[in-house]
Structure 1
Amino acid sequence: MQTLVKGHEQSSKISSPAGLTRLLTPGPTLSLHDKSTPDRADIESYIAQQFHKVHGAHIHDFMPILLNIDCRRTPIAALGIRPAGDQDLFLEQYLPRNIESFVSQTAGYSVSRQHITEIGNLVATQRGGSQLLFLILTALLQQSQFDWVVFTATPLVDRMMTRMGMELHELYDADPALLTNSHISEWGSYYDSQPKVVTVNVAAAMASLCQRKAYKNIITLYQNRVAELALTLDEMGCHGAHSLSA
């Protein structure tokens, strides 16, 4: 699924760790929403509104699980999660073969679908929201036994994640002509930036993030909440090769 759209964060300026730390006062709340969650429609509406605001897009395809960050009961960032184990990924529409073959080629060893998850539906409307979302997401995916995350990245996302210290591996072009679940006209200006299908190794990303004191402190601050979210993900049927409850 496509990433990234940003509201008030649309400029290329990336928040400093100090700016990210200011976002933590008062502490944001983190929540997961599957298709049975009562307030999921509110998160979908938030995502759709931001895609339309920034790109003039009309999206209607949302990932099965949504991770949301609220600040003062107002959403400031969200993204979707789709494990590759038992379903096709949105971004596989762009690819000539399955995602695990691309990730395995990048890794240099065989990677099964059970170790891969896709993210998308990414939006943020407060400075620092995207960075906080990726810090929480990385810790959450590692605890949930996912080794590789794949997504469609715009140049803005690429720059942001690179500046955070994460290494993105480009896999393929995201060609909108290959879309089968939606029409290119629905995406407004999204594809004008020529986004790419990329992958990130979760363990390597976590190690890199923890080398920066500000990021490590935030990850430590939220470690108990991340553990709770990992159990929730497992209950929702979203986990890597090994179930946390097994």
Structure 2
Amino acid sequence: MAFSDGQGWMQLGELGLALLLSAVIGVEREIRQKSAGLRTHTLVGFAAALIMQVSKYGFADVLVDHVVLDPSRIAAQIVSGIGFIGGGLIFVRRDAVRGLTTAAVIWLTAAVGMAAGAGLWVLAVAATAGHLLVVLAFTPLAARLPRSKYAPWRLRLTYLDGRGVLRDALGACTARGFNVAELLVEQPRRVEEPPVVTVLLVLTGSRDIAPLNAALAEVDGVLAVAADDPSVGHA
């Protein structure tokens, strides 16, 4: 196989490295069932590497006297262009921001692809290892950090109506040091017998939410308790 300038085994190796490293990042996202998974991350990193190579080698035939090109201009557009994909992954639901971490990982994957496409394979590998360190080691570490008493917890409580269950549930919350900042009633999609009500409780307090979840689950008439912590939605 004959190769022209900028199209050799070295460039193919750089593309292959970008494909591999981006896939490693994508596998981690896929396992965690994020909105952007294996295919998205692999394509982003692979495309970024290709754009970097086009920026480096694609204009050699037009370089003549009095022609000056800045190869960094095309590469710089990756940084701004990837924002469209990242922005599409971020959304707000019930005042909780979702998808921030996944959008940041998309941005990192593009940077890994750019580094691989530029021939900076050591930096590309190091950045991929850094990503795995952050998402695997920092997640349990963040869970152990002290929580501000002003940071809200969100609990979705489903119970049988007409039995005083909500009163008992609110009493359990205050007895364990939580303040009820907001209570939202979610309308059921169909009429049930006996009547079932779902409410969203916005709580503030610095204590662990797990014991409260267990206590609410034991309240007579409670059908389900689900934590909807907004900090979890950043991933």
| Larger helix fraction of residues | 2
Asked which structure has the greater RCO (Cα within 8 Å, sep 6+), the reply is 1
| Larger strand fraction of residues | 1
Whose Rg is larger? 2
TM-score bracket for this pair, using the shorter chain length: under 0.3
- What's the TM-score, normalizing by structure 1? 0.22
